Amino acid sequence: MNVVLIRRILTTIASAALLLWAVATIVFFLQHLVPGDPAMAILGGASANPPEETLQAIRDQYGFEDPLLVQYGAFLTGLVQLDLGESYTMKQPVTAIVSEQILPTLQLTGAALAIAWALAITLTLLTAGRRGWLGRLGAGIEVVFAALPHFWLGVVLLVVFAVVLQWLPVVDDGPLGLVLPALTLGIPLGGFLAQVTRDEFDVALRQPFVLSALSRGARTADVRFRQVLRHAALPGIALSGWGLGSLISGAVVVEVIFSRQGIGQVLVAAVNAQDLPLVIGVTFVVALVYVIANILSDAASVLVDPRLRHTIGATS
Amino acid sequence: MTTLITVRDLSVAFDGKEVVRDVSFSLRAGECLGIVGESGSGKSVTARSLLGLNGHGAQVTATTLDVGVDVLEATPEQLRHLRGSRIGYVLQDALVSLDPLRTVGTEIAEPLRAHRVPAAQRPARVQELLTSVSVPEPELRARQLPSELSGGLRQRALIAAGLALDPQVLIADEPTTALDVTVQAQVLELLEQNLSAGRAIILISHDLSVVERLADHVLVMHRGRVVEEGPTAQVLTSPQDPYTRRLLAAIPSASSRGDRLSDLPPATITAVPRERAPEAGPVLEAIGLGKSYRGPDGRTRPVVQDVSFTLDAGETLGIVGESGSGKSTTAWMALGLTPPSTGQVLLDGEAWTGIPERKRRSRRHRIAVVQQDPLSSFDPRWTVGRTIADSLSVGQGRRGGARGSAGSSGRERDRSARVAELLEAVGLDPAFAARHPLTMSGGQRQRAAIARAIATDPEVLVLDEPVSALDVSVQAQVLDLLGDLQSALGTAYLFISHDLGVIHHVSDRVLVMQGGQVVEHGTADQVLHAPQHPYTRQLVSTLPRRDLQEAS
């Protein structure tokens, strides 16, 4: 087996672990800087007006008065056992809540990423490297798409397609209910990706290998689709790891607008209720998704760009 | 013989600007037509017109443009059928002319795909083509990417793609530019074989020796027009047009030693020649220099082994060799920028390597460098004047800081006067000080690079392929300038080039390098007229025939 490849995989895993540890640590300490008594949060907040003895009992039970480092140690020990503690407000293990809620969010962001890529590729193939109004139209559409804020786009799509035209349901847990939220998330990212792929497409189109292919009788459409698009996709793929992460932040807003289940809804509720374990749990899982998304986008780059594959092989 | 291509009064304009004007020629089966000219002379545009590949912005007019079909009347689909099947087109610089993301096999199979050769037959045809252009291990090569092949193999693969459908005409646009001399000879041989097999070739080149070897008939183009045409031997031995004559005179070779190559007047340089006691030793000495690098697999590979030479004041030592022979590594060690693994360099008899940079800094101004690509060796955001002034401050070093009381504005004035003086010395108008490198031509940039290098009045100038990126007439001017500067300033040159003609023209003594080692060393005439080592003999045998005739 290839030594260089193994070393690459090990480095990737090690750096991912390091990143996750850093995220967990930062979130843990930040949460402890926030004013407020977690024991109060567990007992339902100040409005519940719990007696002082009960508060003290809770503090002792959860170890809130232990030194911070001891609490941090307990937190890390739990973390490596995949135990993120119990939610203060929902009285359930955080892992159970998060693993249940992450699925709809992943569906949403996955669908949004697919829409974004479909948009970017279509816009690029149809309009990039074209002279005259078609090229300018494509570039214009991308700027507009990339500039659309999620909260506005979501409401507009909801009003137009669900309320006025009634083509799609307002709230639905099935695949139909996924269409509008996924469009809301996917369209701005698609505009952004298309800007990147268009630039690269234009650069690749000026390369001598394009002239070379045409001089052998290749069709222009073939050269664009089979050769140039591949070059154009590379920077977009590299950005997709980041894109998926940004979609999860976007999902927080979109899930509220469309009243969808998901990690975004959970996070908003947890922050409002000062539910420390749940906030940390959600943040940690989002970081995990980020890391995995970046590994996947790296793998996709290697798949599309054979030079990366070959250089790994060549040094073995 | 049948006439394959007839062109009458071809003109091409882009946005109303005419780049090709009234070009006429014809090509018959088995014939080779050479089109010679410098960059921007319109030779590539002429060739692309034959395929209808000049792009949307081009206005192409001609009384006849017949390549089997009338290109001006043909539909896009008819033109597409013509490309590859009737005319094969091979572009220059195979690294960028092959798609870096596709395997060589896919690339060669492309014309077969485009012209509907059944998929089942393509792999066998690709193997056959790679074999026909003498690519070893064709099965392996077909699976590799262009970046994994050497320059020579890439160029062959590109030619194989051009030949895939057995076209009657092959257009080779600078097929040997950027290739080492021995590889260049192999590629020309390949084209020669095609020619004797009855294929017609249009050979485009700025290099007269390449055209001379293959072409039956030559067109000399200058600024979009054909200035001279005729049988190759006639054009090259008794040129009628002044431009052709200038072009021929500009080629550096053994016989041009001591003569001026360009018709520019000698540079006027006012300088006191360096006083140097005759008994003083060489200005630069390399003793047993070696450099090795550790590869990613942990093995150590020697790049340079046991290179020794001396360079006397005012002398030129040429280092010649192919890419990968260790020439540039040797230059960098001489400059004290790459520490040698073994051996040492002495500058003026004092240790120059093996000491910390701190101890070198005060002597840095004594040795300077001019690189091949002046564009990438300049900061594009700086004006030429600022770049040169910057290197002046290196020369003054601490001395400049110590006399701070002289007032900064006075120093500033001194400096811009010196910049102007340097620009004039290299034949540039002092107004160039305000220009940015991007707005200058290659020759102007190289002159500015030379001005920067001589700014500190160095005793040694390392010239690393200083004219390799230049057109032949610009090359001639730069070589003349370097000669003028050397006689006025007494600077010693370490001149690195892959071009034997250039080396012979400029060098007093020559070092031939191969695989990191010096294989031959002697005076220029010894080494290049009576080579002893088989490798040098092989190099010399690739020189243009005309030179050999004159020499004998």
Which parts of chain A have pLDDT scores under 70? 1-4, 44-48, 310-316
**Residues B462-471: what's their mean pLDDT?**
88
Highest mean pLDDT pick, A37-41, A82-86, B391-395, B516-520: B516-520
**Residues B225-229: what's their mean pLDDT?**
94
Helix residue ranges per DSSP H, B71-150: 76-82, 94-97, 104-114, 122-132, 138-143
Probe site for chain B from A212, A303, A304 (most B CB atoms < 10 A): A212
- Chain A closest-CA separation from residue B331 CA (Å): 28
Tell me the three-class secondary structure of B153-183, residue by residue. Answer: HHHHHHHHHHHCCCCCEEEEECCCCCCCHHH
The closest of A274, A266, A242, A288 to A22, measured between CA atoms, is A288
Question: How far, in Å, CA of B194 to CA of B133, rounded?
Answer: 10
Q: Can you give the pLDDT at residue B1? A: 65
Question: How far, in Å, CA of A130 to CA of A146, rounded?
Answer: 21
- Averaged pLDDT of chain B: 87
**Residues B78-97: what's their mean pLDDT?**
88
DSSP state of B144: S
Q: What is the pTM of this model?
A: 0.80
Query: Is the pLDDT assigned to residue B271 strictly greater than 90?
Result: no
Residue A217 is nearest to which of B97, B101, B114, comparing CB atoms?
Answer: B114
79-138 in chain B: CB under 8 A from chain A: 80-85, 88-89, 91, 93, 96-103, 110-111, 113-115
Q: Can you give the pLDDT at residue B279? A: 67
Residues in chain A whose beta carbon is closer than 8 A to a beta carbon of chain B? 4, 131, 207-209, 211-219, 222, 227, 230-231, 304-307, 310, 314-316
Residue B67 near residue B87 (C-beta atoms within 8 A):
yes
Token pair of B472 as six digits: 């032949």
**Residues B224-250: what's their mean pLDDT?**
91
Residue A260 near residue A181 (C-beta atoms within 8 A):
yes
Query: Is the pLDDT assigned to residue B547 strictly greater than 60?
Result: no
**Residues B203-222: what's their mean pLDDT?**
90
For every residue of B353-401, DSSP letters joined together read: SSS-HHHHHTTGGGEEEE-S-TTTTS-TTS-HHHHHHHHHHHHHHHHHH
- Chain A closest-CA separation from residue B445 CA (Å): 25
Burial of B530 (0-12, 13-18, 19+ CB in 10 A): exposed
Residues of B within 8 A of A316 (CB-CB) are 297
End-to-end CA distance of chain A: 9
Q: Can you give the pLDDT at residue B399? A: 42
Residue A207 near residue A189 (C-beta atoms within 8 A):
no
Which residues does residue B522 pair with via DSSP β-bridges, in sequence order? Answer: B510
Residue type, A21: W
HSE-up of B204 (CA within 13 Å, CB side)? 21
Q: Sorting pLDDT into bands at 50, 70 and 90, what band is B272?
A: low
Q: Can you give the pLDDT at residue A311? A: 57
Q: Can you give the pLDDT at residue A316? A: 34
Query: Is the pLDDT assigned to residue B42 strictly greater than 80?
Result: yes
Question: How far, in Å, CA of A304 to CA of B40, rounded?
Answer: 37
Question: Complex ipTM, two decimals?
Answer: 0.78
Residue B140 near residue B132 (C-beta atoms within 8 A):
no
Cβ of B162 within 8 Å of Cβ of A227? The answer is no
Question: How far, in Å, CA of B476 to CA of B499, rounded?
Answer: 13
Residue with token string 């001379």: B212
CA distances in angstroms from A49 to A56, A60, A182, listed in the order given: 13, 19, 42
Q: Which CATH architecture has domain A94-315?
A: Orthogonal Bundle (1.10)
Taking the Cβ of residue B249 and every Cβ of chain A, the question of whether any pair is shorter than 8 Å is answered with no
Query: Is the pLDDT assigned to residue B152 strictly greater than 90?
Result: no
Q: Can you give the pLDDT at residue B107? A: 92
- Chain B closest-CA separation from residue A231 CA (Å): 8
Residue B92 near residue B174 (C-beta atoms within 8 A):
yes
- Chain B closest-CA separation from residue A234 CA (Å): 11
Question: How far, in Å, CA of B42 to CA of B23, rounded?
Answer: 10
Residues of B within 8 A of A215 (CB-CB) are 51, 53, 83-84, 88-89, 91, 162
Residues of B within 8 A of A219 (CB-CB) are 80, 114
Residues of A within 8 A of B84 (CB-CB) are 215-217
Question: How far, in Å, CA of B202 to CA of B39, rounded?
Answer: 17
Element (H or E) spanning B332, and its range? helix B327-334
Give the three-class secondary structure for A56: helix
Residue B185: partners with Cβ closer than 8 Å, 6 or more residues away: B542
Rg, chain B, Cα only: 26
Which residues does residue B202 pair with via DSSP β-bridges, in sequence order? Answer: B33, B171
Tell me the pLDDT tens digit for each residue of B188-202: 889 999 999 889 999
Taking the Cβ of residue B223 and every Cβ of chain A, the question of whether any pair is shorter than 8 Å is answered with no
Taking the Cβ of residue B161 and every Cβ of chain A, the question of whether any pair is shorter than 8 Å is answered with yes
Domain spans in chain A, listed from the N-terminal domain onward: 36-83, 94-315
Q: Can you give the pLDDT at residue B404? A: 41
**Residues B352-370: what's their mean pLDDT?**
90
**Residues B130-143: what's their mean pLDDT?**
89
Which of A24-33, B299-308, B449-458, B529-538 has the weakest average pLDDT? A24-33
Q: Can you give the pLDDT at residue B275? A: 63
Residue type, A4: V
